[in-house]
Amino acid sequence: MGRKLLFDKAHIEGIRYYDVYRANGGYGSAEKALKSMSPEQVLDEVKKSGLRGRGGAGFPTGMKWSFIAKPEGVPRYLVCNADESEPGTFKDRYLMEFIPHLLIEGLLISSYTLGCNSCYIYIRGEYAWIPDILEEAIADAKKNGWLGKNIQGTGFDLEIYVQRGAGAYICGEETALIESLEGKRGNPRIKPPFPAVKGLWDCPTVVNNVETLATVVPILRIGGEEYAKYGTGKSTGTKLISACGNINKPGVYEIEMNISVEEFIYSDEYCGGIPNGKRLKACIPGGSSVPILPANLLLKTAKGEPRMMTYESLSDGGFATGTMLGSGGFIVLDEDQCIVKNTLTFARFYHHESCGQCSPCREGTGWMKRVLLNIENGKGKMSDIDLLWDIQRKIEGNTICPLGDAAAWPVAAAIRHFRDEFEWHVLHPEEATKRNYGLAHYADPLEIAAPAAV
């Protein structure tokens, strides 16, 4: 059994409620931090832990926290990113739903460390029932003196507010999230300035993922050094992985970052293998935006070593032979899955979710989607494959925020590793048309809605 730090008490009946959480050692880390440690000491523990942000980019959390500007008389804010809209990623949802106090305790410790007196949880609109769970937990924590004024007599004040998003993927991007929180259109800001200097209401702000903030609790419980002994190399600790696709046991797993991808897919403790004895074709290990890897590159790195569930191992060799751990949305595809259809599905998503601020993403995502739709429906040309490659190349790296990259990478990787499947669609239009994957009736909304007037 892998060691667990976040879900270690998840099985306890009623852990969602304050009394049970507290009776099982809950708020112990907060007590330790607030009563016996200075903010600098907490920061030091987080740095020692080697914790990397769990929202996707994997930036070291301790370093991110140390960047926060501290001008006199200006409030600082902590924002918890609970927008979780990356297709394939659904780990934060379980954490908030089943152990909400773990997040609240994490927010308390983190706010204390950063010197924030207000903290916001920005939660995805579609998680309609979770804000109520969080509000209830916040009220209970407050009743028991863990929030509000003069927390546990330490002189530290903190309020946590829950803000529901309207359901836009782009609002998970930290600066778009801040805009949305300010009541504006969720358009990413142009950086610099970074949120650490000018964030929410132009004040220094840290935006962290739910899992990142919750992880601060076990780090303080066992100490940064001990935490760093979990996992391996530059990937310390444990990570929540939401596994889905063609596996026997979809779900959210807490893994210690020292297991191999093969073990994760095939062992009974985790995904339990692929249904009906089918073969593994490919996997998107970090949420829909990360490059897809074919089976031969997925289980072994370019050097022939076993591929591990770590930041370094998954990205080994760059995008030519590797991918990213991303947010941990692990999507497995068996031999029956169509890569073109899969790529089209994601392309539709990114096209729909582009905020429309910058030209390459606004125009390019729709173009890629339409070309893919043609290929998938047996109306593609050979030159369309090169065209797709060229479009993604002109989007990647040229946009304001990484949504443009997120739209480009899956297309690039699919063509790089599965070009023959694209060619098959072009060469066998009739067979391609016959395979009804439920998309046959999907028409481009633009085709339907285009009004006559020019």
Ligand X SMILES: Cc1cc2nc3c(=O)[nH]c(=O)nc-3n(C[C@H](O)[C@H](O)[C@H](O)COP(=O)(O)O)c2cc1C
CB 244 within 8 A of CB 330: yes
- Binds 313: which of ligand SF4, ligand X, other proteins, none (CB < 5-8 Å by kind): none
> Under 8 Å CB-to-CB from 444, ≥6 apart: which residues?
369, 370, 373
Q: Which CB sits closer to ligand X, 241 or 375?
A: 241
Could you tell me the smallest distance in angstroms from the CB atom of residue 450 to other proteins? 6
- Binds 207: which of ligand SF4, other proteins, ligand X, none (CB < 5-8 Å by kind): ligand X
- Binds 172: which of ligand SF4, other proteins, ligand X, none (CB < 5-8 Å by kind): ligand X
- Binds 416: which of ligand SF4, ligand X, other proteins, none (CB < 5-8 Å by kind): none
CB 238 within 8 A of CB 254: yes
106 is a contact residue toward ligand X (CB under 6 A): no
Rule CB under 8 A: choose which of 348, 357, 376, 377 binds other proteins.
357
Q: Which CB sits closer to other proteins, 311 or 350?
A: 350
Give the pair of three-digit tokens for residue 392: 């993604």
166 is a contact residue toward other proteins (CB under 8 A): no
CA 436 from centroid of its chain's CA atoms: 31
Q: Which CB sits closer to ligand X, 53 or 364?
A: 53
CB 425 within 8 A of CB 434: no
176 is a contact residue toward other proteins (CB under 8 A): no
Binders in 83-142 for ligand SF4, by CB under 6 A: none
355 is a contact residue toward other proteins (CB under 8 A): yes
Amino acid of residue 95: L
Distance CA 222, CA 1 (A): 19
392 is a contact residue toward ligand SF4 (CB under 6 A): no
Edge-to-edge strand ranges of the sheet holding 280-284? 251-256, 238-245, 329-334, 280-284, 293-294
Q: Which CB sits closer to other proteins, 170 or 252?
A: 170
Distance CA 157, CA 217 (A): 19
- Binds 55: which of ligand SF4, other proteins, ligand X, none (CB < 5-8 Å by kind): ligand X
CB 339 within 8 A of CB 421: yes
Stretch that binds ligand SF4, among 10-18, 242-250, 281-289, 400-408 (CB under 6 A): 400-408
Q: Which CB sits closer to ligand SF4, 108 or 290?
A: 290
175 is a contact residue toward ligand SF4 (CB under 6 A): no
Distance CA 59, CA 236 (A): 13
367 is a contact residue toward other proteins (CB under 8 A): yes
354 is a contact residue toward other proteins (CB under 8 A): yes
Give the pair of three-digit tokens for residue 336: 């029956």
Binders in 177-206 for ligand SF4, by CB under 6 A: 188
CB atoms within 10 A of CB 175: 23
Q: What are residue 254's DSSP bridge partners?
A: 240
CA atoms within 13 A on the CB side of 58: 16
Rule CB under 8 A: choose which of 400, 406, 408, 414 binds other proteins.
400
- Binds 444: which of ligand SF4, ligand X, other proteins, none (CB < 5-8 Å by kind): other proteins
3-state secondary structure 228-267: HCCEECCEECEEEEEEEECCCCCEEEEEECCCEHHHHHHC
Count of residues interacting with ligand SF4 (CB under 6 A): 14
Stretch that binds ligand SF4, among 75-83, 253-261, 349-357, 371-379 (CB under 6 A): 349-357
**193 preceded by cis ω (within 30°)?**
yes
Q: In what helix (H) or strand (E) does residue 281 lie, and over which residues does it extend?
A: strand 280-284
CA end-to-end span of the chain: 64
Provide DSSP, 127-160.
-TTHHHHHHHHHHHHHHTTSSBSSGGGSS--BEE
318 is a contact residue toward ligand SF4 (CB under 6 A): no
Distance CA 145, CA 160 (A): 13
- Binds 54: which of ligand X, ligand SF4, other proteins, none (CB < 5-8 Å by kind): ligand X
454 is a contact residue toward other proteins (CB under 8 A): yes
CB 236 within 8 A of CB 104: no
420 is a contact residue toward other proteins (CB under 8 A): no
- Phi first, then psi, for residue 322 (nearest 5°) are -125, -170
Q: Which CB sits closer to ligand SF4, 111 or 399?
A: 399
Binders in 153-212 for ligand X, by CB under 6 A: 169-170, 172-174, 207-209, 212
Stretch that binds ligand SF4, among 96-104, 126-134, 356-364, 373-381 (CB under 6 A): 356-364
**Which residues are at the interface with ligand SF4 (CB under 6 A)?**
170, 188, 354-358, 361-362, 399-401, 403-404
**Which residues are at the interface with ligand X (CB under 6 A)?**
53-57, 59, 64, 81, 83-86, 169-170, 172-174, 207-209, 212, 401-403, 406
**Which residues are at the interface with other proteins (CB under 8 A)?**
168, 170, 185, 190, 351-360, 362-367, 370, 387, 394, 397-400, 444, 446-447, 450-451, 453-454
